[in-house]
Structure 1
Amino acid sequence: MSSIVLRALVLALLGFVLAGCAVPPSSEPRREARVEGRVELAGPAVGNAYLFLFAPDEAPPDKRGEPKYLAAVSEVRLTAGDSRFGFSGVGPDVYRLWGFLDANGDADLSVDVLAQPGAGDWVPESSVELNVQPGQTLPVDISLSRRVRRPPPAFQVVEQSEEGVVTLTDSATAIASFTVRSEGFGLLRGDAPAFYLRLADANGDGTPDDVNGDGVADLWPQFFLRFVPRPGQTVPLDSQGRPAQVLVPLLPNATPFLGSLQGDPSKEIAAVSLQLFVVPLAQAIIEEPGKGRVVTTLGAIPVGEYELWAVNDEGGFWFVPNALGRRTGEPVSGQDLRFRVVHAGGADAGTGSP
């Protein structure tokens, strides 16, 4: 997994991009290129369309990287039949084009966890690879043909602490768990808040996946802790010198739901809350050219700060702490909760509960 999240862009830029302009960061005008085209809609022209250029290994729906360029087409223009978009000042490089139609109106590009499609929005089947040459005007269209069924898997942790920190240890034998509850916070449209549980079946053969071979079928949504290195902390690097993502897997207690799922990946169950068990190991994940995703188990769980992530089968995500918890006006309760791993037996070591 590359740079994990679709980070928010400055809100002041939206007035420009909704008029069809893009965000040009390049400082080499003679080498700048332009990417332009039309948005093809499978549904009604309701909502603003947002388009992004990503690095090749950071584009949704499989990855959640930081976009290099942003453009948009307003609902007014879409309704009038004008679906043209353009990215100006694009540096020559390889990119992937992706975007979505915010049909339900709950996307907010200034908030990290809300800068994504939700229930009822339209997305492409996949991102489009572009090889942008210096000074080129590259034409490309994008079809928003798949409708998103579910809202992002928003949640809050049930066990809150006065200090606002959940403390875990790096022990390889400690058993720790906590409970997450699905919440919409009045910000997400669509179905009532719930975790929509499904057995994973990546190749669609009707047989549940068991990627790690532990005899337990993999389940959506997936949860993990993501290490956030502080200055001076290091993580493994890939062959191009890019840092790996270091994750600590979390295992949902699926026992109450397995009977209803009946081993059938086509079945889905809505759960309001889930108990998550911390798997006492850390994995470094990198993307290597020609190899794809390479997962390496580390000798120990790195000590430091973490984010708690949930990802659903449509690519929707949520993580804590997030920008909602840091709002200066009306912060959303529980969204600033932090996660910290300390050395087992240390003075500040906890038992896994806040």
Structure 2
Amino acid sequence: MSSLSLRALAVALGAVLAGCSEPPTELRREARVEGRVAPAGPALGDAYLFLFPPDEAPPERRGEPRYVTAVSEVRLAAGDARFRFSEVGPDVYRLWGFLDANGDADLSVDVLAQPGAGDWVPESSVELNVQPGQVLPVDLTLSRRVRRPLPAFQVVEQGEGGVLELTDSSTAIASFTVKSEGLGVVRGEVPRFFVRFADADGNGTPDDVNGDGVFDLWPQFFLRFVPRPGQTVPLDSRGKPSQVIVPLLPNSTPFLATLAGDVSREVAVESLQLFVIPLAQSIIEEPGKGRVVTTLGAVPVGEYELWALNDEGGFWFVPNDLGRRAVEPLPGQALRLRVVHASGADAGAP
């Protein structure tokens, strides 16, 4: 599950924020996608637009965009909402974007290259079939306002040397605590974890997807395996590596009485205790089948990212670029998580 930010995107945006000038003649032989972006609210902030592969577009999926462009706040305020993707290769894409109303999006930082509270997003992405040499007109309406702040957090237990070690034991259940923090980079509402029951099918009853008798909660947390050279993961039918995760279970005991089984209720909290579920799952997106989840025989030893997802698709993970930047890095965002053998033999260490 890769973030949608790339440092290269920030470089590309430098040329497009100023406007949509006519491309040189030699580029007109290439396909173009152009249109207007239409925010439902005030045109305050820059609008960012992306072309994703068809199976990687938000809000359903998280992937890396093939193309990016933008419309500056200055142009939007002047009534000029035109956008253009030039030199687009023929293929199937999905168009998606957002209006950064708070000015805290940063495409050069992985966890900040996404909409947060107060921003405007479309209800869904738009599928495009781009033909060679075509000028394809399409508009994007940003009709839904994001309510939740990003689930920004840091781990309370920072570990020795900035590494939090967990074991692959199937009997000794490990836990740690995360606290919600804006870290000086998330604007708008004070960050909190908004705990509520999941109800994906909208039937008014809390979900229990894995049938373990425990209701599923938002936000969701998991460890995402980051293979090192020589470490392998299952492949899908196209030879693409699967995502390997270790689920984490928030301690819901303090909130159950307040939630009372009602999917419409929520509790805003500053910290959560997370229990490590001692199993690993391989997640593959297969064409025509959707998501295929397979339980692996063992939890891989090695390096992991810690992810949080909220009910609007907002995400956060550590370690991230905020902890790696050269100027004023945030140490808590550089925390590394490592799974080692319960016996103490650290086979997963780099």
TM category (shorter chain) comes to over 0.9
Query: Offset of 1:346 from its aligned partner?
Result: 2.9
Verify the 8 A CA contact 2:97 2:122 in the aligned structure 1: yes
Asked whether 1:207 is paired with 2:205, we answer yes
The residue type equivalent to 2:330 in the other structure is V
SS of residue paired to 2:14: helix
Verify the 8 A CA contact 2:233 2:241 in the aligned structure 1: yes
Query: Offset of 1:103 from its aligned partner?
Result: 0.5
Match of 1:68 among 56, 66, 69: 66
Q: Which residue of the partner structure matches residue 14 of structure 1?
A: 13
Q: Which runs of 5+ in 1 are unaligned?
A: none
The residue type equivalent to 1:287 in the other structure is E
Match of 1:240 among 226, 238, 241: 238
Verify the 8 A CA contact 1:31 1:91 in the aligned structure 2: no
User: Within 2, Cα distance between the matches of 1:8 and 1:47?
Assistant: 21
Q: Which residue of the partner structure matches residue 185 of structure 1?
A: 183
Asked whether 1:254 is paired with 2:286, we answer no
CA 1:93 to 1:189, structure 2 compared with 1: closer, same or farther past 3 Å?
same
Verify the 8 A CA contact 1:94 1:130 in the aligned structure 2: yes
Match of 2:98 among 93, 100, 103: 100
Q: Which residue of the partner structure matches residue 126 of structure 2?
A: 128
CA 1:193 to 1:331, structure 2 compared with 1: closer, same or farther past 3 Å?
same
Query: Offset of 1:161 from its aligned partner?
Result: 2.2
Asked whether 1:157 is paired with 2:135, we answer no
CA 1:30 to 1:344, structure 2 compared with 1: closer, same or farther past 3 Å?
farther
The residue type equivalent to 1:213 in the other structure is G
User: Within 1, Cα distance between the matches of 2:255 and 2:317?
Assistant: 24
Query: Offset of 1:327 from its aligned partner?
Result: 1.4
SS of residue paired to 1:274: strand
After the TM superposition, which residues 337-348 of structure 1 pair with which residues of structure 2 at under 5 Å, given as runs?
337-348=335-346
Query: Offset of 1:117 from its aligned partner?
Result: 0.5
SS of residue paired to 1:16: coil
Q: Which residue of the partner structure matches residue 173 of structure 1?
A: 171
CA 1:45 to 1:30, structure 2 compared with 1: closer, same or farther past 3 Å?
closer
After the TM superposition, which residues 75-86 of structure 1 pair with which residues of structure 2 at under 5 Å, given as runs?
75-86=73-84
Verify the 8 A CA contact 1:198 1:265 in the aligned structure 2: yes
Query: Offset of 1:142 from its aligned partner?
Result: 0.7
**Higher relative contact order (Cα pairs below 8 Å, separated by 6+ residues):** 1
SS of residue paired to 1:287: strand
SS of residue paired to 1:13: helix
Query: Offset of 1:21 from its aligned partner?
Result: 5.4
Match of 1:330 among 328, 331, 336: 328
User: Within 1, Cα distance between the matches of 2:345 and 2:287?
Assistant: 43
Query: Offset of 1:137 from its aligned partner?
Result: 1.0
SS of residue paired to 2:68: strand
Q: Which residue of the partner structure matches residue 87 of structure 1?
A: 85
Query: Offset of 1:175 from its aligned partner?
Result: 0.7
User: Within 1, Cα distance between the matches of 2:51 and 2:293?
Assistant: 26
The residue type equivalent to 2:224 in the other structure is R
SS of residue paired to 2:32: strand
After the TM superposition, which residues 179-328 of structure 1 pair with which residues of structure 2 at under 5 Å, given as runs?
179-328=177-326
Query: Offset of 1:113 from its aligned partner?
Result: 0.5
Query: Offset of 1:20 from its aligned partner?
Result: 4.1
The residue type equivalent to 1:278 in the other structure is V
CA 1:343 to 1:29, structure 2 compared with 1: closer, same or farther past 3 Å?
farther
Q: Which runs of 5+ in 2 are unaligned?
A: none
Query: Offset of 1:17 from its aligned partner?
Result: 2.2
Query: Offset of 1:256 from its aligned partner?
Result: 0.3
Range with bigger deviation, 166-175 or 207-216: 166-175
1:43-95 deviation per Cα after TM superposition (whole angstroms, max 9, x unaligned):
01100000001111111112111111001000111111111101011111111
Verify the 8 A CA contact 2:13 2:68 in the aligned structure 1: no
Match of 1:34 among 25, 28, 32: 32
1:275-304 deviation per Cα after TM superposition (whole angstroms, max 9, x unaligned):
000000000001111111000000111111
1:97-148 deviation per Cα after TM superposition (whole angstroms, max 9, x unaligned):
1000001111111110001101100000011111111111111111100000
The alignment yields a C-alpha RMSD, in angstroms, of 1.9
Match of 2:2 among 1, 4, 10: 4
The residue type equivalent to 2:343 in the other structure is G
TM-score by length of 1: 0.93
Query: Offset of 1:30 from its aligned partner?
Result: 8.9
